Amino acid sequence: MRKHHSLLNGEPYSPITVREPDYRARRITAYLNLVGRLVERQTAALKSSPFNKGSEIVRFFEMLPNLSPLKSLYDRMLRTTDAAKKLAIEGQLRSQIVAGDIDVNVMTKVDKTNFGKDNEPLPPEFSDAVAAMRGFIKSDLNSSVVLSAGLNSRLFAYMAQCTEFLPATDGSLKKRVILKVSDYRSAYVQGKILAKKGIWCSEFRIESGLNCGGHAFATDGYLLGPILEEFKSKRRSLADELVQLYSAALKEKGLQMPQTPMEFLITVQGGIGTAKEDAFLREHYGVDGTGWGSPFLLVPEATNVDDETRSQLAGSLREDFYLSGASPLGISFNNLRNTSSEKQLRQRIEEGKPGAPCTKKLLVSNTEFTKEPICTASNQYQALKIAELKSLGLPPSELEEKIGRVLEKACLCEGLSATGAVGENSSGDKKERAVAVCPGPNLAYFSNIASLEDMVGHIYGRVQLLTGAHRPNMFIQELRLYVDYLKSEIRRRVDSLTVKDQKYLRSFADSLQEGIEYYKSMIPLLVEETERYKDIMLEELLQFQKELLRIIIPGEIAEPVLVANLNPH
């Protein structure tokens, strides 16, 4: 990617080979610095472009939300007839154009130990996640690293040694940390661990456990609404505790606490689909920002997706999006049916050559058959595992099921990066490139390839891009996903259910019931929605409540329960 964009933009390019020391960190630093230079160049070009119809600077200001002060200033410029005043306002507008941050993501648990030429383990600082972090830290960027997928003690310890995360005297941070979390407890625990190490968390990014793209980290039945309510009620106490821990950690490092108060943002993402939902999240829960991800897969200007996959995404229905076991990490993975990656996987199975050649080795983790970890999506692992299963004398149905779980694993290293090489803006080799995508299920309600203006207009309520039948409220959609997830967990555990499993499943179901009660009480607060919309939402909640009561957790005795059909509004 660095080579492609360097040559495309007249930048000097020198390869960093795998034979060079610390090549992973150095490659990341070089790439991020390139992106930084290109964004700086593009921003300068944007600021200097003329205020003519269709120009980039006009597109920029017209896409801003109507309530933006900058948009108001732009509208005033358009109404101004005095040439000198108009020119002065144009100067003001140009001066306020600022590039967005070039943030990066580290999936903390993808952190394999690497080996040297002598096949001996390299020191901990050369593991995948730590090397990636070093690549970010050594870059010229003034931006954030998003930590996702939970705790990594080795990575956090390394970050604590990096002065780049320490504050300047005015409290500003050159390198910032964003924690992606699925509930309040995760934010509380990880935020405290980092604060004790002298690392301030600048943003807690709450993501729906299931109604999101990529890997899905389901909560124990806690739904997004109640989670946001907990953040809202505990925000001040969380801030006070983190400041206390952070101050003590800085003191140990011989540093003074900045005079400017240290603050953090709370943002949310996962399944947002309308301007009204977006506004409700901001106004009711007081979040500082919202994230829209998957819909931008339908925007050619925003995402590098090949034409075939983009068209498939646009034409997909709700049943085409599913939670799969495709990830070699053993974590549920949001998937789209019949991608070129899935077709390639099936073809290899039909040819008697299941699995993929493991070249990138980013997701190697299994040591069942080898001393050095290998990937469960690799042909090496799958051949060994299938041979083992066939030797166990299992009943045919059980054998088929277990082999199916093995064969489901997909090579995400190649599949998720393939579109970068086959997309319309790429010069890469387009042969044998099978593309995998991992959109959130909310994308089913967006059915047209869109321009950047139209997608931004939809987010701000100026354009309507949702198509087809009734789209349930984002909270209802997540609830449906969690009820289905509970059923699948019961099926998965039923043959070897333990007392611990029973307690987990019961607690999960109880949490969903509590979430339903919370949403029933919340319906009157949806003041921007129609009465019909609120009636449908209540009806859907009651249906899910009844469905939950019909779910039998093995070992429990079902008792008839009446659900009162009370309309809270």
pLDDT tens digits, one per residue of 233-291? 999 999 999 999 999 999 999 999 998 999 999 999 999 999 999 999 999 999 999 99
Whether 566 shows a pLDDT value over 50: the answer reads no
Rounded Cα–Cα distance for residues 146 and 177 (Å): 6
pLDDT tens-digit readout, 145-157: 999 988 999 999 9
Backbone φ and ψ for 322, nearest 5 degrees, come out as: -150, 160
pLDDT over 70 at 305, yes or no: yes
Q: Is the pLDDT of residue 411 over 80?
A: yes
Instruction: Pull the structure tokens for residue 27.
Output: 């490659």
Length of the chain as a residue count: 569
Query: 556: pLDDT confidence band, cut at 50, 70 and 90?
Result: confident
Average pLDDT value for the chain: 93
User: Residue 321 and residue 480: Cα distance in Å, rounded?
Assistant: 13
Question: For 387-404, what is the mean pLDDT?
Answer: 95
pLDDT at position 117 is 82
Q: What percent of the chain has pLDDT over 70?
A: 95
Residues 544-565 have a mean pLDDT of 74
At 294 the pLDDT is 96
More confident residue, 88 or 565: 88
Model pLDDT, residue 429? 53
Average pLDDT over residues 505-534: 97
The rounded distance, in Å, linking the Cα atoms of 565 and 313 is: 38
83 pLDDT higher than 60: yes
Q: How high is the pLDDT of residue 470? A: 85
Q: Which two tokens stand for residue 35?
A: 């992106």
Cβ partners under 8 Å of residue 34, min gap 6: 2, 5, 6, 11
Share of the chain above pLDDT 90, in %: 87
105, containing H or E segment:
strand 104-107
pLDDT at 543 over 60: yes
Could you tell me whether strands 175-181 and 201-207 are parallel, antiparallel, or unpaired per DSSP bridges? parallel
Is the per-residue pLDDT at 219 higher than 60? Answer: yes
Question: One-letter amino acid identity for 158?
Answer: Y
pTM of the full predicted structure?
Answer: 0.93
Q: Mean pLDDT throughout 379-393?
A: 97
To which residue do tokens 């086959």 refer?
Answer: 422
Q: How far apart are the first and last CA of the chain?
A: 55
- pLDDT higher than 50, residue 561: no
Residue 458: pLDDT over 50: yes
Query: What is the structure's pLDDT at 559?
Result: 52
Of 185, 265, 199, which Cα lies nearest the Cα of 227? 185
> Given strand 201-207, what is the order of strands in its sheet?
104-107, 143-148, 175-181, 201-207, 265-269, 289-291
Q: Residue 108 pLDDT > 70, yes or no?
A: yes
CA count, 13 A, side-chain hemisphere, 127? 23
Are 440 and 334 in contact by the 8 Å Cβ rule? The answer is yes
**Stretch (H or E) spanning 207:** strand 201-207
Confidence at residue 569, expressed as pLDDT on a 0 to 100 scale: 45
What span, in angstroms and rounded, lies between the C-alpha atoms of 509 and 553? 9
Whether residue 562 is predicted with pLDDT greater than 70 in this model: the reply is: no
Q: Which amino acid is at 537?
A: M
Rounded CA Rg of the chain: 26
Q: Residue 267 has which token pair?
A: 């943002």
What is the structure's pLDDT at 563?
Answer: 46
420 CB-side CA count, 13 A: 10
User: pLDDT band for position 29 (50/70/90)?
Assistant: very high
* The token pair that represents 385 in the structure block: 């595992």
Task: Quote the CA–CA distance of 451 and 533 in Å, as a whole number.
Answer: 29
Q: Is the pLDDT of residue 468 over 80?
A: no
Provide the pLDDT for residue 516.
Answer: 98
| pLDDT grade for 121, boundaries at 50, 70 and 90 | confident
Rounded mean pLDDT of 407-436? 76
Residue spans of beta strands (DSSP E) within 318-441: 321-324, 333-336
Query: Has residue 426 got a pLDDT over 60?
Result: no
